[in-house]
Structure 1
Amino acid sequence: MAKHKQWSRARLPVVAGAVCATILALSGPAAAQASATAEEEHAATLAALKRFQAAAGPGAAVHAGNGDGSWTLSVGTGTVNSTRPIKSDEHFRVGSQTKTFTAAVLLQLVDEGKVSLDAMIDDYLPGVVSGNGYDGTRITVRHLLQHTSGLAAYNPYPVTQAPKPSPDGTYDLAASVRKGLNSPPVSAPGAGFTYSNTNYLVLGMLIEKVTGQKVHQAVTDRVITPLGLERTVFPAPGDRTLPAPAVNGYHGARLGGLYFWTPALSYDPSLYSSAGAVISTLEDLTTFYRAITSGEVFSSASLAEMERVWKAEPGGDGGVGLGIGKFKLSCDTVAWGHNGGVPGYLTQTLVTKDGRHASVVTNTLFQLNTPTKQLAELLDTALCKDAPKRY
């Protein structure tokens, strides 16, 4: 394995700004005054966070800042029937932000000459992507990383859509890939974009084949541990534990001012594996994406490949790179990151090259009426209005 520069994890000062009178009262007058000041300093983001949470889960939080420091705001609760703000160091399931971790390992393997982005997946995994109209001799590693392979959209949850589990309740990557290939191609390779978890399940198989490690171990050894992400976990199959402290995830529905929450159903992390199994925190996700975009995880050449986007919208400056997205902000700035959604959680992290960052979590995932507009507004506000560029 080629050696990559290690990211030195600096713990930036955090100003907790929870919108919670109970917490403020328990913390004493001085802490209450400090929290009130944080809310005043970031009033625009606080207002956007409240609008997001009103359409999202029981609680929501944003951890944001620039190269000079970070701050956290929280509304609602991380645990139903209590008053407990979500904190920046609490664990939650990040969903498809896992894909950036998986892409990072693949790009390290490219640096080491073990994988080529433009090689056909059949060169590494003969016969795996085949049948039902699929041809792995025409689909490249780049196609899979960028969701331009033509593989049909696939979400293994609920479990009725998943492959049959092993006797121990875990899911085999190859079986998950076969299940995802049950639907025929949606386009020729390279001809269109279709977001599909199957792309990243195949890439998980590729990592295992090339490294000789299980994908959760490869990501841990190559990315999580070197970056010092002490509260980030790619759980092994069978490990359903959400480490403490944790943000509790919920299923629920909203109808006007009425809402109902039930604890999110448990599932084995191998159900999502290299497409969505990682557990992390707002702080660790910030550190991870800042390391990625600073070129600390793989070579500058591979970073340039990651940031080559698929067909930005006309007149826009966004698009989809290799395991990362490009977003044009209202303040004429480009941000990079990924979102994620799994049962119990909706998340997204964005960072800019000048040090600004914002990571958001809410503790439910709606299948319908997902508050994507409010989430985008919240991130844009945090990055453009309340985390200005340093001069």
Structure 2
Amino acid sequence: MKLSSRRLPAVIGAAAAIVMMATATAHAAPNDEHPATRTALKAFQSVAGPGAAVYAGDNTGAWTLSAGTGTINTTKPIQADEHFRIGSQTKTFTAATVLQLVDEGKVALDTSIDTYLPGTVNGNGYDGTRITVRHLLQQTSGIAGYDPLVSFALVEPNGTYNTATLVREGLKRAPVSAPGAGWTYSNTNYLILGMLIEKVTGLPVHEAVTRRIIEPLGLDRTVFPAPGDRALPSPAVPGYHGARVGTFYFWSLAFSYDPSIFSASGAMVSTMEDLSSFYSALTAGKVVSPASLAEIEKVRDLGGGGYGLGILKMNLSCGGEAWGHNGGVPGYLTQTMVTKDGRHASAMSNAYLLGTTSTAKLAALVDTALCENRG
């Protein structure tokens, strides 16, 4: 689900027909439109899954380019309104929910997590009285990163996962730094934040995020699934496992898993259209107060940008900056970034191939789409 635990370039950048669909009326696009983005999309898809797509635009309109296929053994282009698992883009929804609680005076950013969840973060060198809510949101808690795939053995008898159990598993790795001293991407931070949301709101985290973020913004094709809900809403892009060796490749459907293993760190489902709408609304001040948005956008410099409170800042090759997040879970690799002048770009592939250059190619695609769309 995470793409890197080191530096921003690694996090956001470290023979298919292409079709274009307009947001209002679908039509074939002239071949000379968005040439740079088409080239970047082909480069990404060549090291990614069976298919890849990017949905981009600005305040005047939007367009979609698709390469490869959304379903193997067909020539089906990926569409901007099709569902897929968004992985760590979930973290921004979680962070926005926490900041709403800050706005309501129910949570304080610089208060220790032990104040809200006594005893949850302790032992093995951890001291929850020294780790603040801000540390968790900004990945500066010192809590070690771990691969959530190792936790599949912790499944409950009903096939779901208990967040507290996953957190205890994550804390078995010793701290990598003192709180606030370093930056380490860790899904455990956001599992703990999910527990915080549940404690303060009295709701399961999937319901809290749905009621506070998804429904008010009218994100009709965005879902934070409840534990046990493994289904992808229709229409959906199937996710695949596979490998590429030169020009040869093999694909099989990604294995089914219960999204509660990722919970507030990466369980959500959405579309490229909805993700663009969410990040645009968040950065425009429509989700949290101006004061909280300012806190969200205080980044830890990582080179090439930085990490705020559940959000990435990307320095664009054409100048300026974009805000968003990326994500990778079995079957999908995704990223969405938006600018304050109304540009947006959301891209995805229907496979997450470890050990490839796909992450860097994805970031380059998003950067190209935003820059080519610059007025």
Q: Give matches, 1:147-162, under 5 Å.
A: 147-157=139-149, 160-162=150-152
Runs of at least 4 residues of structure 1 off by over 4 A? none
User: Which residues in structure 2 correspond to 1:357-372 (within 5 Å)?
Assistant: 357-372=344-359
Aligned residue in 1 for 2:319: 332
**Aligned-partner Cα distance in 1 for 2:135–2:327:** 20
Does the Cα contact within 8 Å between 1:162 and 1:176 map onto a contact in 2? Answer: no
Query: Match for residue 233 of structure 1?
Result: 223
In structure 2, runs of 5+ residues without a counterpart are 1-15
Q: How does 1:1-391 map to 2 (within 5 A)?
A: 19=17, 34-37=27-30, 39-157=31-149, 160-162=150-152, 164-313=154-303, 318-385=305-372, 387-389=373-375
**Structure showing greater relative contact order (alpha-carbon pairs closer than 8 Å, 6 or more residues apart):** 2
Give CA deviations for 1:202-224 in whole Å, capped at 9, x if unaligned: 00000000000000000000000
Q: Which amino acid aligns with 1:35?
A: A
Compared with structure 1, are the counterparts of its residues 107 and 163 closer, same or farther at alpha carbon in structure 2 (3 Å cutoff)? Answer: farther
Match of 1:302, SS state, is: helix
Task: Name the CA distance, whole Å, in 2 between partners of 1:370 and 1:54.
Answer: 10
Shift of 1:163: 5.4
One-letter identity of the residue aligned with 1:125: L
Deviation at 1:362, TM superposition (A): 0.1
Identity of aligned residues (%): 66
**Residue 312 of structure 1, CA deviation:** 4.6
> What root-mean-square deviation, in Å, do the aligned CA atoms of Structure 1 and Structure 2 show?
1.6
360-369 vs 209-218, which deviates more?
360-369
Asked if 1 retains the 8 angstrom alpha-carbon contact of 2:151 and 2:166, the reply is no
Aligned length: 357
TM-score (normalizing by structure 2)? 0.93
184 and 101 in structure 1: CA distance in 2 versus 1, 3 angstrom threshold = same
Partner Cα separation in structure 2 for residue 184 and residue 110 of structure 1: 29
Residues 370/271 of structure 1: CA separation in 2 closer, same or farther (3 Å cut): farther
1:95 and 1:381 map into 2 onto residues whose CA distance is: 22
Q: 1 CA distance for matches of 2:17 and 2:199?
A: 48
Identify which range, 303-312 or 339-348, moves more after superposition: 303-312
Following the alignment from structure 1 to structure 2, what is the Cα–Cα distance between the partners of residues 224 and 49? Answer: 29
The structure having more radius of gyration, on CA atoms, is 1
Output the TM-score relative to the length of structure 1: 0.89
Q: Distance in 2 between matches of 1:378 and 1:308?
A: 25
Structure 1 distance, partners of 2:35, 2:142, is 44
Deviation by residue 1:115-142 (Cα, 9 ceiling, x = unmatched): 0000000000000001111100000000
Cα shift at 1:370:
4.0
